[in-house]
Structure 1
Amino acid sequence: MMFIKSANYTAERPWGAMDIANMNGITTRLHWTDQPYKWHINDGEEIFVVLDGKVEMRYRENGLEKSNLMVVGDIFYAAVGTEHVAHPVGEARILVIEKEGSV
């Protein structure tokens, strides 16, 4: 059992993570960042939840780049093949649920 105060979590580097659980190959991780990630496509589905801060989620749909500003409590679901990149606005803490070993 564990209790986590996500608002207090920081990492040594952007996108550093605390591993919370691995349930049959599906990981749940708490990330801290103040820098953008990289454009990527996961080899599985991804759930991305903003716990603290704001994140501009950029994604490509039919070859066009789009974006959505996410705030605390917002959830982004990326289906297999969804090209996306997260750009925090300042510091952000994010809960990510995805297949173990995903980018």
Structure 2
Amino acid sequence: MKVIESSKFTAERAWGALDICVMNGTSCRLHWTDTPYKWHVNDGEEVFAVMDGVVRMHVRDADGERTVTLNAGDIFHAQAGDEHYAEPVGAARILVIEKAGSV
């Protein structure tokens, strides 16, 4: 058993992660960042839960590009193939659940 105080987690670099566990091929990682990620497409589904801070999630689809603001407690779900990137507003802590080894 482990208890993780997510509000106290920091990393040495943006998008540094604390590996929490891998369950049946699905990884659960806590990330700390103060820098946007890049546009990307996951090869599987991804659940993105903001634990602390504010994150602007940029998404592209057939209808164009849009931005959704996620606050602490908000959850974003991306299907495989959804193009997106996360832009924190200041520092943020994000719990990411996805297929182990996904980029």
TM-score bin (small chain): over 0.9
Percent identical among aligned pairs is 60
Residue 23 (structure 1) aligns with = 23
Matching residue's letter, 1:94: I
After TM superposition, the score normalised by the length of structure 1 is 0.98
Classify the secondary structure of the residue corresponding to 1:90: coil
Matching residue's letter, 2:90: G
**Which deviates more from structure 2 when the two are superposed, residues 54-63 or residues 88-97?**
54-63
Q: Tell me how far apart the structure 1 counterparts of residues 99 and 63 of structure 2 sit (CA, whole Å).
A: 25
Give the CA deviation at 1:77.
0.2
After TM superposition, the score normalised by the length of structure 2 is 0.98
Structure 2: stretches of 5+ with no match in the other structure: none
**Alignment root-mean-square deviation, CA:** 0.7
Q: Deviations over 1:15-67 (max 9, x none)?
A: 00000010111000000000000110000000000000000000002151110
Q: How many residue pairs are counted as aligned between the two chains?
A: 103
Structure 1: stretches of 5+ with no match in the other structure: none
